[in-house]
Amino acid sequence: MKLVEMDKDQLQSAFNVDAKKGLSHQEAKKRLKQYGHNELAEGEKQSALLLFFNQFKDFMVLILLAATLVSGLLGEYIDAIAIIMIVLVNGFLGFFQERKAEKSLSALKEMAAPQMMVQRDGLWTKIQAKDCVPGDIVKFASGDRIGADIRITKAHSLEAEESALTGESLPVVKSSDVMKKESAGIGDQVNMAFMGTLVTRGSGEGVVVATGMKTAMGQIADLLQNAHSQQTPLQIRLEQLGKILIVAALFLTLLVVGIGVLQGNNLYTMVLAGVSLAVAAIPEGLPAIVTVALSLGVQRMIRKNAIVRKLPAVETLGCASVICSDKTGTMTENKMMVTRLWVGGRDWTVSGKGFEPAGEFECMQGPSDDTEVRQLLTYGILCNNAELKLKKKNYYIEGDPTEGAMLVAAMKKGIDRQLQFENYQLLKEFPFESERKLMSVMVKDANGRQFIVTKGAPDVLLGRCSSVQMNGRNQRMDEKMVHGIMASTERMAEQALRTIAVAFKSVPANTAILDEGDAECDLVFLGLQGMMDPPRAEVAQAVQECRDAGIKTVMITGDHMVTAKAIGEKLGIYHQGDRVVSGAELDKMSEDELSDIVDETSVFARVSPEHKLKIVSAFQGRGHIVAMTGDGVNDAPAIKAADIGIAMGISGTDVAKETSALILLDDNFATIKAAIKEGRNIYENIRKFIRYLLASNVGEILVMLFAMIIGLPLPLLPIQILWVNLVTDGLPAMALGLDKPEENVMKRPPRHPKEGVFARGLGWKVISRGFLIGSATLLAFMTVYKSNPDNLQYAQTVAFATLVLAQLIHVFDCRSEKSIFSRNPFGNMYLVWAVVSSIVLMVIALYYPPLQQVFHTVSIAPRDWLLILGMASIPTFLLAGTFYVSKSK
């Protein structure tokens, strides 16, 4: 028998599973072994060996190796071996850096991997989709990406978009009905949900019938293109810059070699020196260090609960000038508690703590009969899917917290959920949708009477009511009544309460209720529930920090305008004179009109997800870089359109997560701020080591060039240049990538996205520092060489030590945009250790006889260290001094 033709019992026996309990953990484990993980086979990865050899395919490195071969043939064995060793160590370093970057990126992918809701041993649990097995009973709802092939057994207004399989982008209505005969097309199998397709509406349940490569998706897996890794704009720009630098370095190297030969230097030595210089001067390690800095930054973000899904977002974060954030759950705790009721013309207060089902009801107009209160609460849980759970003496809600609050309120009155299930039979459900702002059910009570219960936003629901129940009797809904109810709603909203209204109507058994339009009309208004959702403690401060950093926070919510404004005010988002714009107003505004007022608007209330797109483009039209949060399917277009799309990790649907660039693991607004701060810091750190590496390279080239021009012998030997490149440049540059942010990182306006790498004086710093490092090294060399022209090796050793020390002092200057004195030198201990180890290694190379032979060094007399230190300090301290002089003027 075909899957689509099976009824529930046949499915149960075919897959040997109890539909009420699901598989046992043991059985699931067994099946996982039998069927393998629920994964599609991946494309080939670059092997480690290939990655290693790739490190040597650089043109200059190949030339260097060829030159080394020549020097080996000429009998310069020590030089040849030393150079090969250095090239190898460099290669290994590059290899490990790239491996690390690759590994941390794939770890990220894993964290953002899809999950599924399955029933195991009678309990619903969220598992990684890859651990799901055939026979699993699964649940899914709007926004989920289906993780396996599923035969649907329950469906409420279920629709799925199957374009990944069928190419058809219009959603298909799904049902649990048994099909009479199997249809050939995937699109026609309406009681099947396929792996990789999206639930666009409603919810459902089903049995997993195929996993991994056995799914319909698995069969076409080869056709799926593999996601290729993305480069950030900075990486692309650096790649272009790298090419320019190669040409410049080659040109200068040729100049050095040419002048050197003309000045009478040995051709072979000059060629080797030239090639070494080119290898040292071309920052071929830069892209790898940038990748490492990015991926380490990304890991720091994970520790702060932000997962970066798209690497370019790391940079864009630093440019963000507007954050549009959802309110519920992101700025508030999403721990709702009903504190006020309005029913039958009376107001009631409800006491209690959190989700604990204990509290008192008190009528504000004096002692009163509570029959209608009981009715309001009962209907509130009929149209409700939340469940209250207890874990380690803590109550928590499974499902929608708004519904949870209504459930707890009913329980406080002793209204038992279980009893309701026995008394009322659920016939139909029209799930809550942010667009409608309503949810309805059709139920049958113990006496066989059918009726509809609808709950939702009061202003919306009022429009669907033709009467109101007062003291047990229905009255016509006239204008006065509408105003009265709206005034009660606003009174609750002014106290920052979220309001939900409840209404109902009886439906004779023969009435056709086909869709929500039939259900949600001509209703009897019953009452209101007002619930408190406390703002998260850390949000107000985060909003303030963003403000200091030139970033505007905008609240976007489906809640009532007055509620939204009250909370916005508490959090410092709304300020006197700001505009609060409603969804209805947005509908009426043209793009241009919205663009005119968007800068003064800080709260958008009663909006639907589709409004978000309009808001994003309005801000973008004003030149802003926009971060936008979202969780549902309908938020996806806005998340995609935003410069930084942010999805909620807990409440977010798969669709929202997949389109996002950043996922907040804790759904918390403060995490966005932390990510922006980290984004700014990563960019600054990259600038820091670019500055360091390039200034060092400029210094290295200039010392050689100047020496050749003046007619001096070579101040540095090839092997010494390579050493500087490897030991002095590499380690400290890495450490700069790990630097902490400067204090002012969140005190200045966002960076312009088009800003070049060398903006804000970086280019000048590279050239001026490089010039001074080169000149100071040459000066040290000349001083020693002039006083003792017979001992060239000694002068070269002094030049080598000066160059190394000048760079190692300069590296501390690179930590700040201002000056070396503005930061504690011990603030970055990685850097301190990198510098200490570079110095120790240099001292060994200078004084340890076997290495003296390799590096052609000689022991430096103590008195010359004063000269070296003095010269090495000039480049950094001279300019730091001029900075202070110019500041104090």
Binding site for ligand ATP (CB under 6 A): 326-329, 400, 402-403, 432, 434, 437-439, 455-457, 498-500, 556-560
CA distance 708 to 97: 36
Distance CA 16, CA 144 (A): 26
- CA-based nearest residue to 94, from 283, 235, 369: 283
Q: Which is nearer to ligand ATP, 108 or 607 (CB)?
A: 607
The number of helix segments (H) and strand segments (E) in the chain equals 32, 27
Nearer to ligand ATP, 605 or 782 (CB): 605
Distance in angstroms between the alpha carbons of the first and the last residue of the chain = 91
Q: Which residue has the tokens 């699109």?
A: 187
Please work out, in degrees rounded to the nearest 5, the angle formed at the alpha carbon of residue 116 by the alpha carbons of 112 and 122: 145
Candidates 58, 131, 136, 326; catalytic one: 326
User: How far is C-alpha 508 from the geometric centre of its chain's CA atoms?
Assistant: 52
Place of tokens 């990198």: 834
Sign of CA dihedral 117, 120, 123, 126: negative
Give min distance, CB of 336 to ligand ATP, in A.
9
* Secondary structure letter of residue 22 according to DSSP: B
Which of 400, 817 has the CB closer to ligand ATP?
Answer: 400
Q: Decide: 117 and 138 in contact? Cβ < 8 Å.
A: yes
- Count of C-beta atoms within a 10 Å radius of residue 447: 6
Residues 6+ apart with CB under 8 A from 414: none
Using DSSP, state whether 714 is helix, strand or coil.
Answer: coil
* Upper half-sphere CA count for residue 508 (Cβ side, 13 Å): 2
Angle, helices 77-111 vs 286-303, to 10°: value is 30
Give 533 or 729: the residue with its C-beta nearer to ligand ATP.
533
Which residue sits closest to ligand ATP, CB atoms considered?
558
Nearest to 66 by CA among 211, 255, 279: 279
How far apart (Å, rounded) are the C-alpha atoms in residues 40 and 753? 38
3-state secondary structure of 284: coil
CA distances 433 to 157, 202, 608, Å, are 11, 9, 9
Please, which residues bridge with residue 499 across strands?
530
Burial class (CB in 10 A: 0-12, 13-18, 19+), 365: exposed
Task: Report d(CA 395, CA 383) in Å as an integer.
Answer: 21
326 catalytic, yes or no? yes
CA 11 and chain centroid, separation: 40
Beta-bridge partners for 332:
535
Helix (H) or strand (E) holding 278: helix 267-281
As given in the structure block, the two tokens for residue 536 are 């998260």
Q: Which helix (H) or strand (E) holds 486?
A: helix 479-494
Question: How many Å apart are CA 670 and CA 571, to the nearest integer?
Answer: 12
Q: Which is nearer to ligand ATP, 130 or 156 (CB)?
A: 156
**What residue type is assigned to position 97 of the chain?**
Q
Task: Please state, in angstroms and rounded to a whole number, the distance separating the CA atoms of residues 300 and 798.
Answer: 41
Q: What share of the chain is helix, strand, coil (3-state, %, to 5)?
A: 50, 20, 30
Burial class (CB in 10 A: 0-12, 13-18, 19+), 299: middle
Residue 329 CB, nearest approach to ligand ATP (Å): 6
The CA distances from residue 16 to 27, 137, 140, 179, 313, in Å, are: 10, 11, 21, 21, 46
Amino acid at 214: K
Per the document, the length of the chain is: 889
Does residue 382 contact residue 453 with C-beta atoms inside 8 Å?
A: yes
* Cα dihedral 874, 878, 880, 881 sign: positive
- Whole-number Å distance between alpha carbons of 133 and 783: 77
C-beta of 331: minimal distance to ligand ATP in Å?
Answer: 8
In the bound state with ligand ATP, the residue whose beta carbon lies nearer, of 403 and 739, is 403
Alpha carbon distance 169, 171 (integer Å): 6
Dig out the tokens for 673 from the structure.
């701020």
> What residues are labeled active site?
326
